[in-house]
Amino acid sequence: MVEREPGLQKAIKAAGGIRALARLLGISQASVAVWHRVPADRILEIEAGLNIPREELRPDLYRRS
């Protein structure tokens, strides 16, 4: 089993769990449960909803200035 990346773990914890993160995004809990990292098309939505910088959610795509 592949572990979740730290950015996704942080988002899940900040939201209050997988179900809460899915609700915030308007998608199914099952969809979030299979993620290993935050999908690129969800980064900005999670950043806005949970106030977690995109650099923390996906450091492979965004670098701190």
The token pair that represents 2 in the structure block:
């592949």
pLDDT along the chain (65 residues), means of 10: 91 98 98 97 98 97 84
What is the pLDDT at residue 1? Answer: 59
Terminal alpha carbon distance of the chain: 34
This prediction's pTM: 0.93
**Residue in this structure with the two tokens 């290993």, named with its chain if needed:** 36
Domains of the chain by start residue, with CATH: 6-57 (1.10.260.40)
What is the pLDDT at residue 3? Answer: 94
5 CB-side CA count, 13 A: 14
Indicate the SS3 state at residue 19.
Answer: helix
